[in-house]
A and B are shown apart, each in its own frame.
Chain A
């Protein structure tokens, strides 16, 4: 089947099988940031934005993205760069494998709630598993970013 979608700002037309998952489609189209950590829609590593909303790309049929806009971390480097340094300052990236999904969902969080509380951060990101960091460093990093923004340091 042929599908046309906007991937990271560019129109892409491609042929896919009825059961090709968006996750596989994206990696086959060079979006290596998108990772898979489970097969059961439970880890959040494959998070991308579909029409601006965070979704699990492992659970979306590629054909269902036909006519839609898909954004991966490859397409949001600038927006991500604004805050990921604060995560790095905590050392909370660790192995990094969960980072793209976490960063994508954090982008969605900050677009939806520009000034979240720590508990709102935790609730929004609850579907992003991380086995290395214990999570608190990620929260501290986001908090440090929000504080820096408030203080006009960015």
Chain B
């Protein structure tokens, strides 16, 4: 770009910021009527059971109860609730209600009533007799277990993902480049380590919620807190077995998503109630339901075999992932891929061979879904930890070993679909991170006067920018009265600020102020098609659609101006607030063009463009953590976290920084406090915020975020993505720092004070015994 940017690259306020900060009504429950049916779901107390008998007669008599639905009342075509492009890789394994319940919290009956009190009472009065079945609770035992989670004949996989419901297999695959075994055989050093990450929750502050009504045209109008209005329309059509033309989905402001709302969790229940009864209905998930019946991260066990030379050259990586999709397959076949595709290519530098194999299994626990990082988080924890251990074995500085082996700009990444690292500043990120963090001073282990230990750890990460060849982003830009623009999108701002950054791009393209751009979305009727906001796609994919649409609109504006000025459009230059003849002899203002467009005009001053990218350029980053560890209590305090990110051009540096800080803190939670445990009957212990401990502001440490940007030619203004990558480095960096402080490598998350303290106590005893 030779022109100086006016809007892109500026930390402008988010367009909705002041309204949100002042508490104005904006979310589903604020903007939809309260005078509607309250919908709740009776949930299974068993991990695996068949409903022998379900009696609703007494419950139906509760005053105020409108309808109670059981598995006998719902369509029998299976579908998936995963918000993915059709045909979805996730198997069609769900019914709205099923006679077989597959996890504690699975839906047994839908109750709709006039108020919450009546519905709660009815829920207590439904009598269910279950034939309790043995359950598969340990994902190590799922594959080829005689207990089948999905024995049904009408289960189907639309895509060839290696799924087989008769083996509890949701997906299976293997890919490789080079002869891993031969290279490892030839290496000076090789070892294998296994890592375990749990089904952490997105825990967005606004729980799942949906309002439904029949609109004046007899269509189902759905107002939902969703990242995916178009996928929601299709999924609801499949679930209800009605035409897609009968459904209209829109999202108001969303109280956080992080991927949770890339799966239809709440929508199908009120939608079914409204479609069946004709009455407006609303379902608001409780926090407990979010925890027990939501769409958390896939629990994974990642095994990494590494082959390296004594000089620190990493020559081979062999990664196997066992992923637990839980009772249903939403995002099962796809999340697992990232555990290899976003970890192995980090070491493209010297890598001679890799292998990545995986199994995704069904079990009788809560169904997993999409959570920021989407499998990359799990894989990067494993691979980065192994590299840190390798550096430790070799006595190398872990920054040096990375500088020696990391992927460099221009390299082809065989483990990343052979895509090129077309824009890659990972080396700059690492060096700058070390400088800003003070790696040289902080890496050495320091014992403080009070006995506590300070130590540091490092990790790096990558992600993608949209799903290559699949994601479609679209934008429609329209010129209005006085010359202001309306940008319509189908991407969903879930708080991240995509409305604003897309408006910044529009303003840049149309040479106007961000305030001159109004953003509308997302609405399945009114927005141009967009896959939705997930897979770190919006800036990169939809952003390009904005650029294309603006280009087209400029031509149309010039065409109208040409009529007004009586010249050829090719003689005109677009200057933002006016269109001028190239020779400077005459001009017409944008406001006048806008006025003209509404009077005797035949050219619509509106342009819609779609964009899809054949590649998914990875953002890169480096992260370093400093901790203070109390060797007696095992308590770990995060003192500092420094992250340097290459997201390409940061369209809005403020929002990119907050994205980074938010992701780091979520990951600090995943690493240190957010646990997931099931008892032997499949009940989740961490079913509330009393048990599932999100980090508070006392536990974040000081966060230092910087950008070391590359320029991605295929992205809008050189941008890549930021949303997901930021959650990937804290787990390995903190585990590394904890190893430095304790001598122990922790390979299961979260790393709890108890584990550390008892290990160190044992060490002390053994040391004393020796």
Contacts and interface: CB of A to CB of B under 8 A. Distances in A.
Is there direct touching of A and B in the complex, by C-beta distance under 8 Å?
yes
A148 interface: no
B552 to A, nearest CB: 30
B664 A134 contact: yes
B494 A133 contact: no
Contact of A132 (B16, B287, B495, B690): B495
Contacts of A72: 23
A72 to B, nearest CB: 8
Given A38-B688, A73-B22, A96 B697 contact: no
A98 interface: yes
Contact of B703 (A43, A103, A127, A134): A134
B204 A95 contact: yes
B72 interface: no
A32 B25 contact: yes
A22 to B, nearest CB: 16
Contacts of B697: 122, 125-126, 128, 130, 135, 138-139
Interface string A86-99: 01111111111111
A130 B205 contact: yes
A9 B423 CA distance: 57
A33 B23 CA distance: 4
B659 to A, nearest CB: 9
A16 interface: no
A95 B17 contact: no
Contacts of A34: 23
A151 interface: no
Contacts of A33: 22-25
How big is chain B's contact interface, by range? 35 or more
B647 interface: no
Contact of A88 (B13, B204, B255): B13
A45 interface: yes
A88 B23 contact: no
A95 B494 CA distance: 6
A77 B19 CA distance: 11
A35 B225 CA distance: 15
A74 interface: yes
B5 interface: no
Nearest to B31: A32
Interface in A77-124: 77, 80-81, 84-85, 87-100, 103, 122-123
B527 interface: no
A81 B665 CA distance: 28
A89 B654 contact: yes
A133 B22 contact: no
A103 B21 CA distance: 7
A96 B664 CA distance: 19
B762 interface: no
A150 interface: no
A2 interface: no
Contacts of B702: 136
Contacts of B13: 85, 88-89, 91
Contact of B698 (A45, A77, A100, A122): A122
A144 B654 CA distance: 14
B10 to A, nearest CB: 12
Contact of B17 (A42, A93, A100, A103): A93
B441 to A, nearest CB: 22
B439 interface: no
A125 B664 CA distance: 19
A137 B254 CA distance: 20
A39 B286 contact: yes
B14 A91 contact: yes
B35 to A, nearest CB: 11
A131 B286 contact: no
B205 A84 contact: no
B393 interface: no
Given A40-B689, A91-B11, A122-B697, A132 B256 contact: yes
B732 to A, nearest CB: 18
Contact of A131 (B16, B256, B496, B690): B256
Contacts of A92: 658
A18 interface: no
Interface string B477-496: 00000000000000000111
A96 B287 contact: no
A73 B23 contact: yes
A99 B25 CA distance: 12
A81 B22 contact: yes
A67 interface: no
A137 B26 contact: no
A140 B669 CA distance: 21
A65 interface: no
A137 B21 contact: no
A129 interface: yes
Given A84-B21, A134-B662, A95 B254 contact: yes
Contact of A90 (B22, B256, B654): B654
A37 B202 CA distance: 13
A74, A77, A125, A130: most-surrounded residue (chain B CB, <10 A): A130
A138 B34 CA distance: 32
B698 A126 contact: yes
A72 B254 CA distance: 21
Nearest to B18: A88
Interface string B501-527: 000000000000000000000000000
B203 A131 contact: yes
A32 B657 contact: no
A39 B21 contact: no
Contacts of A87: 17, 21
B18 A97 contact: no
Given A87-B21, A90-B658, A91-B652, A39 B205 contact: no
B205 A98 contact: yes
A126 B696 contact: yes
Given A90-B654, A93-B20, A125-B697, A133 B287 contact: no
B287 A39 contact: yes
Contact of B657 (A35, A80, A131, A137): A137
A42 B689 contact: yes
Contacts of B11: 89, 91
A21 to B, nearest CB: 11
A127 B698 CA distance: 10
B21 A91 contact: no
A39 to B, nearest CB: 6
B310 interface: no
Contact of B253 (A40, A96, A135): A96
Interface in B1-54: 11, 13-14, 16-27, 30, 34
A135 B205 CA distance: 14
Contacts of B663: 134
Contact of B206 (A37, A88, A133, A137): A37
B585 to A, nearest CB: 44
A129 B689 contact: yes
B661 interface: yes
Contacts of B30: 32
Nearest to A19: B117
Interface string B627-662: 000000000000000000000000010110110111
The 6 A-B pairs of least Cβ separation, nearest first, read: A95-B495, A33-B23, A96-B20, A97-B255, A134-B661, A88-B17
29 contacts: A32-B24, A33-B24, A38-B688, A40-B688, A45-B205, A80-B21, A89-B13, A91-B658, A93-B17, A93-B21, A94-B658, A94-B662, A95-B253, A95-B495, A96-B21, A97-B255, A97-B256, A98-B205, A99-B20, A122-B698, A131-B202, A131-B203, A131-B666, A132-B658, A134-B665, A134-B666, A134-B700, A137-B658, A139-B697
Given A134-B663, A134-B703, 18 more contacts: A37-B287, A88-B13, A88-B14, A89-B11, A91-B652, A94-B14, A97-B204, A97-B495, A122-B698, A126-B697, A127-B696, A129-B694, A130-B205, A130-B697, A131-B666, A134-B662, A135-B696, A138-B697
Interface of B: 11, 13-14, 16-27, 30, 34, 202-207, 253-258, 286-288, 494-497, 652, 654-655, 657-658, 660-666, 688-690, 694, 696-698, 700, 702-703
